Amino acid sequence: MLVTGAMSPLGRELVRWGRGRGLEVWQLARQGGRAWPGARTPKDSAWALDMGDTGAVVKLARKLRAKQRPMELLVNNACGWFPGGISGIPSQVLEAQVTASVTGTMLLVRELLPSLALGRAGSIVNICSTVGTGYRFSTNTLYVTLKGALDAFGRCLRNDVRSRGIRVTNLHLGRLKESESPEGIPVRDVVRAMDLVVEASKVTCVDSVVLTPLGLEY
């Protein structure tokens, strides 16, 4: 299992969930070091990687692919964020975050498809957002655009890789309790949705899951 954005609160929970399923967990995050959640355990590996460095993304992905080991699950959790509308976004920030969140993710997926296809049992889960698909409103233009792009990529990718036995799920999340709102979604509910995705019969693809907090109006 590989998780991007592994240092976020949700990323940490996904790492714990993967370990609980007995998977070897590979973690990618922009910053590494001592703060990594158990990254030095024998069954785990962690890399500090800027997804905006596309050359480094391809190099690492090919290194992992060269291991010739089936990958059960790839979770695309990394995404940039910047507050406000388009007029307030510096050009350098806009370009860097589009490159990291969109181009970097697409390159990572492309390079790891052979590993996901081994054994015809691989799944890709894109951590999307309800703001990226119109379920709720947000004034944070860049974040909405990035999550919307990930959703579109997942929908196209799903049909692109069906013949290779790879399943693609877009997981749309509302506000998370731990990071955004006391009335938000507990991360434990997110991993319950992950259970549904990976435990479905191999002839079934869970195309999309939407989780919204009951205590907030959408």
Give me the phi and psi of 15, to 5 degrees please: -65, -45
- The pair of structure tokens assigned to 207 is 């195309």
Q: For residue 72, what is the DSSP state?
A: -
**Domain 54-211 part of CATH 3.30.365.10:** no
Check residue 91 and give left, alpha or beta (phi > 0: left; psi -120 to 50: alpha).
alpha
Any idea which residue has 């997110």 for tokens? 190
DSSP state letters, 148-180: HHHHHHHHHHHHHHGGGT-EEEEEEE--BTTTT
Contacts of 202 (CB under 8 A, 6+ apart): 120, 121, 165
Please give the helix or strand (H or E) that residue 124 lies within, else none. strand 123-129
What are the residue boundaries of the structural domains of the chain, listed by start?
Answer: 54-211
With contact defined as beta carbons under 8 Å apart, do 55 and 30 qualify? no
How far apart, in whole angstroms, are the C-alpha atoms of residue 185 and residue 214?
Answer: 8
Q: For residue 185, what is the DSSP state?
A: B
Any idea which residue has 């998977």 for tokens? 23
The rounded Cα 72 to chain-centroid distance in angstroms is 14
CA triple 151-1-197, angle to 5 deg: 50
pTM: 0.90
Q: Could you read off the pLDDT tens digit of each residue along the chain, which spans 218 residues? A: 999 999 888 999 999 999 999 999 999 998 654 444 444 444 458 888 999 999 999 999 999 999 888 999 999 999 988 889 999 999 999 999 999 999 999 999 999 999 999 966 799 999 999 987 766 777 889 999 999 999 999 999 999 999 999 999 999 998 888 655 677 888 889 999 999 999 998 889 999 999 998 876 65
How far apart, in whole angstroms, are the C-alpha atoms of residue 208 and residue 168?
Answer: 9
How far apart, in whole angstroms, are the C-alpha atoms of residue 116 and residue 18?
Answer: 16
